[in-house]
A and B are shown apart, each in its own frame.
Chain A
Amino acid sequence: MAGGQGAAGAGAQQPEADSPFALSHLDALESEAVHIFREVAGEFERPVILFSGGKDSIVMLHLALKAFAPAAIPFSLLHVDTGHNFPEVLEYRDRTVARHGLRLRIASVQEYIDAGTLRERPDGTRNPLQTVPLTDAIQEHRFDAVFGGGRRDEEKARAKERVFSLRDEFSQWDPRRQRPELWQLYNGRHAPGEHVRVFPLSNWTELDVWQYIARESIELPEIYFAHEREVFSRSGMWLTAGDWGGPRESEPVQTRTVRYRTVGDMSCTGAVDSDATTLDAVIAEIAASRLTERGATRADDKLSEAAMEDRKREGYF
């Protein structure tokens, strides 16, 4: 815009090619995410990055590393371990933490169950049980900003989520009392005991994440690529047979070539049939898929129409 009012009545100009200064969509998303990381570093005392070893948190960590290069990330990491995590992912997590010299704290759902503080659900799903260890860890360590890899394209309640999302001392989300978020002016003010959930990948889609992983040559846990695995069918999903409690007698185990689109608790994260063994093949597969990431692989979101909203209200990500 060359300044001034101009005579707009003359009608629209012919569309011109994008200027050489236009950023590619990945560069624009990267720049925005880095800006968010630096805002938090500048305004908060005790931020933490939630890191599960899943692709979104891996991309988040990669962006944080770039945001503060050549210095180290000024944040520690927190993993809420359900006790039913994929061993390949835990191995990746520990290797990554060691490689970058990061500090990792672990909040363990299993410890809560062993102590009798949390009770196993009848369906064996531990994903909803993460909320208590997470909010306890936030209070215990007095974290005032908690980065999550949530994306608005994942789910319709998340589409309403702010980049900076204020939570009360009980970590509750109240969608009707969110702060309007204008321009790139993020308001991180909070009272003692409150904290802010921060979502630097808000505007990324699943495909953006994969394209960025390919562009930046980011290593992932191998379960994201097609491999042979012993699985069984439950609620229309392929679940991994394992110590966590599957399969039941009526659920025959079979060996299939599968991969994971999301990585979470083994009891509710399904694999998809796939022969995509490379990043390019995965990207091609996702671009052609007619199912969303969560629709294809998450049991817990199918519990009810507002399952995600209800969990988020309680403090879940």
Chain B
Amino acid sequence: MTSATEQLSATTLLRFATAGSVDDGKSTLVGRLLHDSKSVLTDQLEAVEHASRSRGQEAPDLALLTDGLRAEREQGITIDVAYRYFATARRRFILADTPGHVQYTRNMVTGASTAELAVVLVDARNGVVEQTRRHAAVAALLRVPHVVLAVNKMDLVDYDETVFAAIANEFTGYASALGVPEITAIPISALAGDNVVDPSANMDWYGGPTVLEHLETVPVSHDLTGCHARFPVQYVIRPQTAEHPDYRGYAGQIAAGTFRVGEQVTVLPSGRRSTITGIDLLGRPVDTAWAPQSATLLLADDIDISRGDLLVPSDDAPPTSQDIEATVCHVADRPLTVGQRVLLKHTTRTVKAIVKAIPSRLTLDDLSQHPDPGQLLANDIGRVTVRTAEPLALDPYAQSRRTGSFLLIDPADGTTLTAGMAGEAFTDVTAPTTPADDDAEWDF
């Protein structure tokens, strides 16, 4: 194999999401990242130029690169998450391009759920606005490890350092209070190309990385030694062939932490114990495997294990419970109500459940809690308690995005109703407002 192939394969993958209000220049930023990293190819650009001309626009509308649906092009808005792919010599990127309109909070939640980094765009002329706070809150809620504040349109404020510093300070203070672990603020002009891919000659006071440089160098994998190891069993592999008469492997994707041959594990919810005698990494035996590798575990004892069970280190087993408290984002058009019967999907396990209470609904604008809203509507974020028919082992979402997350599903037609994050999601919310005050603030 030549070095060219090896070099290209040795890169890592970063999944990130963009968020910004309608006129903050998000499409321009995305367009520039794609364009300047040479990820927009000639025929795509020609198609955009053709479509722009036929609409009577003078310049190619880069938003047409990302608005793929008929309805989106007709209305000139993005109505759904789209995924974009681009690469540099150092890294490959999956960009979840999420619509910024408040009506589509669920789309930002969707994009942020798999993102390791979120770019929040702000117009330098307007500074931190309500929508910025919503985006920061969603990034904090979803536990996106890295947040980039891109202060855009610096060309329209004379590349003024004090404007940038004031916005960066305000945002950092707000997002830190929400628990965002790492914030990087970058002054840019997506239109003029300042600090997006190339360093800006107009802002020599800024000594930090460009947006692309930061995306290329931000660490994508966190220290796994501190994570609780979790292995949801997806499927039992039993070849029953002459070559493998007794092979019985538990296939799954490691949700968190590492597993080693020789380690004692406990099966949840049954509580039975065994020892790992082998690990197959897609047909190849290994001594150690870690998240997010898809692996097959072999155990010393022939115990009853099936899809939906969770294998954990015996000395680090989470408690199981039938009562779950969580912060949720309601993603369906029909409401979620107290007393509703649902299915709950957690890792590979789906169980019957009932919504016992909806203690509060969050107002994203000021992070105040509206008590006892009775129901959650589309795009609402709220606190929910759920009783499940069988015990589940959920970690707090703050500790594990994979084993702390779940879906609520309508048992009648399979609609995905609600995205859930177990445990306390916000550590620092302001005191609840009175119901009377709050009625005027329904914003979704």
Give the interface of A toward B (CB within 8 A): 1-3, 5-9, 11-13, 15-19, 21-32, 34-35, 38-39, 41-42, 66-72, 152-153, 155-160, 166, 175-176, 178-185, 187, 189-191, 202-203, 205, 207-208, 211, 214-215, 279-280, 283-284, 287, 289-292, 295-296, 305-306, 309
- Contact indicator A184/B237 (Cβ below 8 Å): no
Q: Are B307 and A42 in contact (CB under 8 A)?
A: yes
Neighbouring A residues of B84 by C-beta, 8 Å: 159
Which residues from 181 to 220 on chain B have a C-beta closer than 8 Å to any C-beta of chain A? 181-184, 209, 214, 217-220
Interface segment, one of B6-14, B16-24, B369-377 = B6-14
Knowing A25-B92, A72-B239, A152-B85, say if A180 contacts B106 (CB, 8 Å).
yes
**Known: A181-B110, A291-B43. Is A24-B224 also a contact (CB below 8 A)?**
no
Cβ-closest chain B residue relative to A166: B414
The answer to whether B102 has its CB under 8 Å from any CB of chain A is no
Question: In the complex the two chains form, is B223's CB within 8 Å of A19's CB?
Answer: yes
Residues of B within 8 A of A72 (CB): 239
Instruction: Check A68/B219 contact, CB under 8 A, given A8-B176, A31-B293, A34-B282.
Output: no
A68 to B241, CA, bound (A): 13
Residues in B neighbouring A287, C-beta threshold 8 A: 4, 8
28 CB contacts below 8 A, A to B, read A1-B226, A2-B223, A7-B176, A15-B218, A19-B219, A19-B221, A21-B224, A22-B12, A25-B9, A25-B13, A31-B292, A34-B294, A35-B294, A153-B85, A159-B82, A175-B80, A176-B69, A176-B80, A180-B107, A181-B110, A182-B110, A183-B401, A185-B405, A203-B83, A205-B92, A291-B42, A292-B44, A296-B43
Give A184 to B223 CA distance when docked, in angstroms. Answer: 21
Instruction: Report how far A283 CA is from B221 CA in the complex, Å.
Output: 28
Q: Which chain B positions have C-beta within 8 A of A178?
A: 80
Residues of B within 8 Å of A41, CB to CB, are 234-235
Q: Is the CB of B68 within 8 A of A160?
A: yes
- Contact with A28, one of B51, B176, B292 (Cβ below 8 angstroms): B292
What 6 A-B pairs come out closest when comparing CB atoms? Answer: A189-B414, A295-B43, A156-B68, A22-B221, A8-B176, A15-B217
Q: A22-B221, A160-B69, A183-B402 are in contact. List 14 more A-B contacts (CB 8 A).
A: A7-B176, A28-B13, A32-B294, A34-B253, A34-B294, A42-B234, A67-B251, A71-B247, A176-B69, A191-B413, A202-B83, A292-B44, A295-B41, A306-B73
Note all chain A residues with C-beta closer than 8 A to B264: none
Residues of A with C-beta under 8 A to B42: 290-291, 295
Q: Which residue of A lies closest to B343 (CB)?
A: A189
Instruction: Return the contact of B234 from the options A24, A30, A39 (Cβ within 8 A).
Output: A39
Contact B69 A182 (CB under 8 A): no
* B47 at interface, CB cutoff 8 A: yes
Residues of A within 8 A of B41 (CB): 289-292, 295
Neighbour of B173 across the interface among A9, A24, A156, A290, CB < 8 A: A9
State in angstroms the CA–CA spacing of A214 and B195 once bound together.
Answer: 36
CA distance A211 to B92 in the complex (A): 13
Contacts A38-B235, A69-B282, A191-B413; A306 near B70 (Cβ below 8 A): yes
Assembly CA distance A24 to B292 (angstroms): 11
Q: Assess whether B9 is in contact with A71, with CB atoms less than 8 Å apart.
A: no
The answer for the CA separation of A25 and B13 in the assembled complex, in Å, is 5
Query: For residue A31, which residue of chain B has the nearest CB?
Result: B294
Given the contacts A12-B184, A180-B107, A214-B1, A18 and B220 also touching, CB distance less than 8 Å: yes
Contact, CB under 8 Å: B11 / A24: yes
Whole-angstrom distance from the CB of B92 to the nearest CB of chain A? 4
Contact A309 B70 (CB under 8 A): yes
Which residues of the partner chain A approach B240 to less than 8 Å between Cβ atoms? 71
- Beta-carbon contact of B69 and A280 below 8 Å: no
Alpha-carbon gap, A2 to B223, bound state (A): 7
Report whether A180 and B416 are in contact in the complex, using a CB–CB cutoff of 8 Å. Answer: yes
Given A38-B252, A183-B405, verify A280-B80 contact (CB < 8 Å): no
Output the residue of B252, B407, B409 with the most chain A CB within 10 A: B407
**Most chain B C-beta atoms within 10 Å of own C-beta, residue among A8, A41, A158:** A8
